[in-house]
Amino acid sequence: MASFASKLARLPPMPGGAPAPAPAPAAAPAPAPVPENAAAALASKPTLDDLRDRIARILGKAAPSAPRPDPTRTELPFFVEHTSRGPLYVRRHRAPPAARVGRAPLVAARDAEPALLSLLALDPRLATCDARRALFIDTETTGLQGGTGTVAFLLGMSFYDEAEGAFVLEQALLRRLGEEAPILELLARRLDEASMIVTYNGKAFDMPLLRARCVMNRMPAPRELPHLDLVHVARRIHGHRLKSRTLAAIESEVLGRERVGDVGGADVVACYMHYLRTADEGALSGVVTHNEHDVLSMVALVGLYGEPMHGGLPGADLAGVAKTLRRAGELDRAAETAEAAVVRGGGALAKRTRGDIAKARGDKARALLDYEALAEEIDDPSVRLELAKLYEHHVKSFAAALALVERGTGEAEPAAEKRRARLRRKLEKRP
């Protein structure tokens, strides 16, 4: 802001007065002294040439990018198949006719009964399928949550080859991101030849992911086929005894084969990322074996579930089969299976299942025998409730029914009190 003196100098002279002398120009302010530390900082500030030299040194030390895989050479047991959509890196292996996964022969899946599989899966569409044309599918992916950023880098499939009389394992590897089209085309070709799909948790993960990848690659969605998802069947049959229901756990506990040095799910992703960075195919060897085990274990399970009465399932597992058959409405077949479950040493679970199925069929005499035996073996309020109902309505033994209610039947107290009161009235009316 201008000083007061300069403002006065700009005023016009008063009448009769001499003009005011112009003020002397103000001296330029002296520069403030630069602190010693600031001067040192300015002196040490890098010049543009210094920055250029530093960037060049950084770039010179940067790690080289991973070499692109040589399409003509592979350390893995894959070969190159040239297709209209680009190179396909594929492996095909025919399992010997006598091949097994643990105690379960693979060839049994060829003769599995589709009608029974449909009952165990609670899916009527499977009943008319041809088990010989089942396509077993499993993927290894870059993530476990799905989504548009997740890619299936290894597609494992198996199918029965009539000409060879054996199951074929087929695996296709994505060696470079962005080259999915040949793999998806192979999947489409196999689906066109199939009658049904078999997966393990594939309804929730594998098939939605593969459909999404087809969309991302502007390819037709995979053909929709009847889908047997073994994870649901396994939970119904073995859920009473398995803490983990992963395919590896089912393979160990049900099929009797223990995986040695298996690659875990989280490590699968890390192995593939290492391969993308380094082109080290040795890092994928364990992943390929893991995928092979998954696919062939599904083949073995279909053979086991397709003939559960002859496949060596223990009694408790047969009880799970019987309960599922009852749920599907096949009471006669469920009763036959429950009987076999008891004979095979299924214990209390098998007896309870047989009793429940007998009651559902109206065979109250059989149900009474099973519930009486169970009441002696185990302390279970729900068993006492079923037995009390039979004593009251079938045997007309009101005193025995009341004694069971007094011991506790697991009912809510209002319902239990109502039952007690009714039984007492019936006892009072008796002569």
The CATH number given to whatever domain includes residue 168 is 3.30.420.10
Q: Judge whether 231 lies within some domain.
A: yes
Given a cut of 70, whether residue 341 has pLDDT beyond it is yes
Domain shared by 234 and 148, yes or no: yes
Given a cut of 90, whether residue 286 has pLDDT beyond it is yes
Nearest to 263 by CA among 293, 283, 286, 292: 286
pLDDT value of residue 350 = 98
Span of 134-148, 268-282, 370-384, 389-403 with lowest mean pLDDT: 134-148
Domain shared by 326 and 213, yes or no: no
Q: Judge whether 372 lies within some domain.
A: no
Rounded average pLDDT over 134-150: 86
Q: Judge whether 70 lies within some domain.
A: no
Is the pLDDT higher at 46 or at 396?
396
∠51-56-62 over CA atoms, to 5°? 130
Is residue 355 a contact partner of residue 346, using CB atoms and an 8 Å limit? no
pLDDT value of residue 59 = 46
Q: How far is CA 200 from CA 10, 44, 78, in A?
A: 96, 65, 25
Q: Judge whether 393 lies within some domain.
A: yes
Domain shared by 318 and 230, yes or no: no
pLDDT value of residue 75 = 79
Percent of the chain with pLDDT over 90: 76
Q: Judge whether 57 lies within some domain.
A: no
Q: Judge whether 219 lies within some domain.
A: yes
Rounded average pLDDT over 279-308: 96
Rounded average pLDDT over 29-43: 52
Domain shared by 234 and 172, yes or no: yes
Span of 13-22, 240-249, 371-380 with lowest mean pLDDT: 13-22
Mean of per-residue pLDDT scores for the chain: 88
Rounded average pLDDT over 310-318: 92
Q: How far is CA 153 from CA 174, 224, 278, in A?
A: 5, 22, 16
pLDDT value of residue 261 = 84
Given a cut of 70, whether residue 20 has pLDDT beyond it is no
Domain shared by 104 and 204, yes or no: yes
Domain shared by 263 and 396, yes or no: no
pLDDT value of residue 11 = 58
Domain shared by 119 and 213, yes or no: yes
Q: Judge whether 129 lies within some domain.
A: yes
Domain end marker among 325, 341, 364: 364
Q: Judge whether 38 lies within some domain.
A: no
Rounded average pLDDT over 270-286: 95
Given a cut of 70, whether residue 278 has pLDDT beyond it is yes
Cβ-count burial of 29 within 10 angstroms (0-12 exposed, 13-18 middle, 19+ buried)? exposed
Domain shared by 338 and 392, yes or no: no
Given a cut of 90, whether residue 326 has pLDDT beyond it is yes
Query: What would the two tokens of residue 340 be?
Result: 């076999």
Domain shared by 143 and 254, yes or no: yes
Domain shared by 242 and 326, yes or no: no
pLDDT in tens, 45-88: 566 666 556 655 554 444 444 455 555 455 799 999 999 999 99
pLDDT value of residue 65 = 47
What domain range is 333 assigned to?
314-364
pLDDT value of residue 148 = 66
Give CA–CA dist 235/242, Å, rounded: 9
Per the DSSP assignment, residues forming a β-bridge with 168 are 94, 159
Give CA–CA dist 191/214, Å, rounded: 14
Give CA–CA dist 337/342, Å, rounded: 9
Span of 100-104, 143-147, 346-350, 388-392 with lowest mean pLDDT: 143-147
Domain shared by 124 and 273, yes or no: yes
Query: What would the two tokens of residue 165 be?
Result: 């009389």
Given a cut of 60, whether residue 40 has pLDDT beyond it is no
pLDDT value of residue 113 = 96
Domain shared by 210 and 189, yes or no: yes
CB atoms within 10 A of CB 143: 11
In a 3-state reduction of DSSP, which class is residue 105? strand
pLDDT value of residue 312 = 84
Number of domains the chain is built from = 3
pLDDT value of residue 264 = 82
